[in-house]
Amino acid sequence: MKFNTKAIHGGQHDIDPAYGSVMPPIYQTSTYSQTTPGGHKGFEYSRSGNPTRAALERAFASIENAKHGLAFASGLAAIDAVIKLLKPGDEVISTNDLYGGTYRLFTKIFEDFGVKFHFIGMENAENIEAYINDNTKLIWVETPTNPMMNIIDIKKCAGIAKKHNILLAVDNTFATPYLQRPMDLGADIVMHSATKYLGGHSDVVMGALMLNDDELAERLFFIQNASGAVCGPMDSFLVLRGLKTLHVRVQRHCENGKKVAEYLRDHPKIEKVYWPGFEEHPNHEVAKAQMDDFGGMISFVTKGNDYDEAIRIVERLKIFTLAESLGGVESLAGHPASMTHASIPKEEREKTGVVDALIRLSVGIEDAADLTADLEQAIG
């Protein structure tokens, strides 16, 4: 099955043997009746499993070309489950330009449990080798990175991980499987904040893991059930509905993203635009090789790098909503220095490029002309 068909039908067989409903019913139940102790029809308690969530989990596996899918209460709950594969003394090598919540989970929760994290630039995958030792158990990759849109070569990372017998996990939230399929490039685990493009309508918080190895899947299923950060049936239904338009939505995100990126690049008041689709992007060749298109996430800096001017721009936007998050049908704008990265000291955030005037856009699927007109009136 090709991607566009999988987005709609992947894993969706025998959805409703009772009445043949085309969409899986929302099994809003916590438990299931048993005829005799242990005599049930495959489900006994909804933390362990729920038919609506199971339908979504099969769809998750299908779109990432994986054998197993697991759905969690949030993206961070999914990451939390992955790190719980580790033990005190184990080490993780992670992307440095990382989603802030992931960084917080690693440093403020798991470091206290004795897991050691190395945050490094991975645009040259070879950098990873220097940090590998006998305790290294996991390489954590996010690409494109947030908010600087750096690109990391997944295939090269997979080669290094295989050579040293280390797990490779890829946060594929920004790219979506429509544009980038890490399993095919050698990743062991794919992770999503389904809150973003997979759900696609800014109405659900959810996380996902996709993987192939049966033993690893069994261990992660055990952690999912034992730790309990599962998503509910209603949210499962909503994300399953979102998935059915993933391909058409992301296609339009890419078209609009290109138009907005090019508009910003030509604007006399704009200093720099970060978007992997530009030939001058330092990792453009890698992006071209591992992604089918370049997505709708764009960051830019105005000339003069003025903090207050950046705030004024995001406040003046009318169609772009000033808000955290990304990946919904509606366009969003954010100011990392005062929002997502406010807790990071100025010198630290500037090292990775998060300067005062950096603005991040999640370009939605509205009419592109309306979006550029909105930027025009806001930037002035």
Ligand X SMILES: *Cc1c(COP(=O)(O)O)cnc(C)c1O
Angle, CA of 64, 67 and 70, to the nearest 5°: 75
State which amino acid sits at residue 375: L
Q: What is the Cβ-side half-sphere exposure of residue 119, based on CA atoms within 13 angstroms?
A: 15
C-beta of 62 vs 195, nearer to ligand X: 195
316 given a catalytic annotation = no
Number of residues near ligand X (by CB under 6 A): 16
The interface with ligand X within residues 99-128 (CB under 6 A) comprises 99, 101-102
346 is catalytic: no
Q: Check 181, 196, 249, 360 and give the catalytic one.
A: 196
Taking the C-alpha atoms of residue 90 and residue 271, their distance in angstroms, rounded to an integer, is 42
Minimum distance of ligand X from residue 353's CB (angstroms): 16
Site string for ligand X, 143-172 (x = CB under 6 A): ---x------------------------x-
Rounded to 5 degrees, what angle do the CA atoms 349, 352, 354 make?
Answer: 55
> For ligand X, which is the closer residue by CB, 205 or 243?
205
CA distance 219 to 116: 21
Residue nearest to ligand X (CB): 75
> Is residue 142 within the footprint of ligand X (CB under 6 A)?
yes
Parallel, antiparallel, or unpaired: how do β-strands 332-334 and 358-362 relate? antiparallel
Distances (CA, A) of 26 to 42, 51, 52, 55, 232: 16, 8, 6, 10, 9
Q: Which of 62, 94, 176, 193 binds ligand X (CB under 6 A)?
A: 193
Measured CA to CA, the distance from residue 84 to residue 173 in angstroms comes to 20
For 37, residues 6+ apart whose C-beta sits below 8 A from its C-beta are: none
Answer for which of 94, 173, 256, 362 binds ligand X (CB under 6 A) is 173
- Kindly name the residue from 84, 97, 99, 263 that is annotated as catalytic: 99
Q: Which amino acid is at 277?
A: G
- The one catalytic residue in 80, 97, 171, 188 is 171
Min. distance of Cβ 310 from ligand X in angstroms? Answer: 21
**Smallest gap from residue 194 Cβ to ligand X (A):** 7
CB 154 within 8 A of CB 170: yes
Minimum separation from the CB atom of position 197 to ligand X (A): 9
Residues with catalytic roles: 47, 99, 171, 196
Q: Which residues bind ligand X (CB under 6 A)?
A: 74-76, 99, 101-102, 142, 146, 171, 173-174, 193, 195-196, 205, 207
